[in-house]
Amino acid sequence: MRARFGERAPILVETTLLRRRAADKLADLGDVSSWLFTDEALQQATVAAVALHRARRLAGLVVHDATCSVGTELAALRRTSARAVGSDIDPVRLAMARHNLGPDADLCRADALHPVTRDAVVVVDPARRRGGRRRLRPADYQPALGLLLATYRRRELVVKCAPGIDFDQLSRLGFEGEIEVTAYRGSVREACLWSGGLAAPGVRRRASLLDSGEQVTDTEPDDCAVRPAGRWIVDPDGAVVRAGLVRHYGARHGLWQLDPDIAYLSGDRLPAGVRGFEVLEQLAFDERRLRQALSALDCGALEILVRGVQVDPDALRRRLRLRGSRPLSVVITRIGSAAAGRGTAFVCCPSR
Ligand SMILES: C[S@@+](CC[C@H](N)C(=O)[O-])C[C@H]1O[C@@H](n2cnc3c(N)ncnc32)[C@H](O)[C@@H]1O
């Protein structure tokens, strides 16, 4: 490579490797095999399925992606919106966006904290890592979240945030719109803030499960009983838990809670498409008794789910030294109030 391309060789190698990584992450945007990236820009790029989901919510509107980077999210927005404009403060990324999106893309260099559009819905995905390090505090986002909310107070605004963001802190910053927690390929990807005018009436929390297409919001009924385990235990998707919608999800699917403060649900019928755990045995959590129960069932590989009790699943699995042939699951949780609460183990057979 060096003999043929001289000092450009490292850049060519890196670009080729980045394009290979992008092929999976951005596949839903079409062919990105000729796109330009930096390593950090590709890490920061919104995975295409999530960008397209957001773009569908903005269909038909005029939008301004004010932190467009190399253009991945803007590519999704251009498919659905009436018009999409992109800007970024970084001239190199903008040049890459121009290459990636082509001569028709509306792009300009601008600081997101100094609005260059009027009336358009502003979409911002602040940088949450620099030089490989993650910045988790909203005040450390680039641009800072508080400044963004203040700058666009009178505009319709969408902000992509880290999934772990402190919701109370958002209220303290004056945010009163909808928080949408999105999961894709089994993991929680982001918490997205939607200003009031973009949210459905009354919705303050939404969980969007892109793998199944299911959405749950806090305007749905949340009358979910607390009862002993039925035939199945369900561990709701992380986005449902993070959005605080476990009871709403349970009510929708005819499930009940095992404990009012614990996110496990139970029911006699497993909702369609949901992975569940069929209860074979319930016992007070005690390692020796658990080992006996699992050995009697010829358990080999063991999946361990834990909520509300201090158990290290990997360490427990090693200590149990199971030698059987049947793959099983155990759900270990606390049932009852904190003081009286005791660990309970449910030995289960997973539905898949
Ligand atoms: C997380 S990346 C955006 C990724 C983009 N949504 C995508 O999917 O490819 C954040 C971007 O914000 C830009 N940025 C940081 N501070 C900015 C500011 N004050 N104004 C405009 N852009 C800014 C960075 O240059 C970076 O490209």
Q: Name residue 232's beta-bridge partners.
A: 267, 278
Three-class SS state of 166:
coil
pLDDT of residue 134: 73
**For residue 16, how far is its CA from the centre of ligand 1 (angstroms)?**
23
Find all residues with CB under 8 Å of 197, minimum gap 6, and list them: 156
pLDDT at 202 over 60: yes
- Regarding the beta carbon of 93 and ligand 1, being less than 6 Å apart is answered yes
pLDDT of residue 154: 94
In this structure, the strands spanning 256-257 and 265-267 are: antiparallel
The rounded Å distance from CA 273 to ligand 1 centre is 37
CA distances from 49 to 81, 174, 237, 331 (A): 16, 30, 17, 31
pTM of the model: 0.94
Mean pLDDT of the 55-60 span: 98
Cis (ω within 30 of 0) for the bond into 143? yes
pLDDT tens digits for range 132-175: 667 778 999 999 999 999 999 999 999 999 999 999 999 999 99
Q: Ligand 1 within 6 A of 322 CB?
A: no
The arithmetic mean of pLDDT across residues 318-344, rounded, is 87
Q: How far is the CA of 243 from the centre of ligand 1 (A)?
A: 25
**What is residue 336's predicted lDDT score, i.e. its pLDDT?**
82
Residue of 67, 99, 101 to test ligand 1 pocket, by largest number of atoms within 8 Å of CB: 67
Residue 231, helix vs strand vs coil: coil
- In ligand 1, the atom with minimum distance to the C-alpha of 46 is 8
Residue 90 alpha carbon, nearest atom of ligand 1 = 25
Domains of the chain: 1-215 (3.40.50.150), 232-350 (no CATH)
